[in-house]
Amino acid sequence: MKSIVSLLVVATLLSTVTLKAQEKFNWKEMDEFHTVLSATFHPSQGGDLAPLKSRSSELADKAIAWQKSKVPGGLNKKEIKSSLKKLTSASKELHRLVKNNTSDEMLKQKLSSLHDIFHAIKDKYDKKGDM
């Protein structure tokens, strides 16, 4: 009987750990934003701003969706929401700059700043499982 109880306890603990690990990778809106950001940021590093210019509206839309999404457990909700607000504002500004034919150098600077904001949020998300 003790071995059955012990097995149940171990199974419960393992399933809890598994669920927490799965939860860590389930922030769909973050992943969707990251997909568009990667497709625009990395080409810009080589001087190709065409992807940014064609997808700036999508980038802003993905930021808005991410900001509206539920913050996963284990994170400081107030801090993350504040960072997402900053990310959304920066994404909208970047789209506005693209529409206004702002210089490529300024676009690269703003996109780099947006990339930094993204990674600040993602780093906190990635570390939440380490706590």
The pLDDT mean for the chain works out to 87
Q: How many residues does the chain have?
A: 131
Tell me the percentage of the chain whose pLDDT exceeds 70.
Answer: 79
The model's pTM is 0.79
Q: Can you give the residue range of the structural domain that contains 124?
A: 27-130
- What's the pLDDT at 26? 84
Where residue 38 sits, what CATH number does that domain have?
A: 1.20.120
The number of helices, as runs of H, and strands, as runs of E, in the chain is: 5, 0
Residue 20 within a domain: no
User: Which of 125, 120, 117 has its CA nearest to residue 26?
Assistant: 125
So what's the pLDDT on residue 131? Answer: 44
Number of compact structural domains in the chain: 1
In the three-class reduction of DSSP (H, G, I as helix; E, B as strand; rest coil), residue 112 is classed as helix
Do the domain assignments include residue 14? no
Residue type, 111: L
pLDDT tens per residue across span 57-96 = 999 999 999 999 999 988 999 999 999 999 999 999 999 9
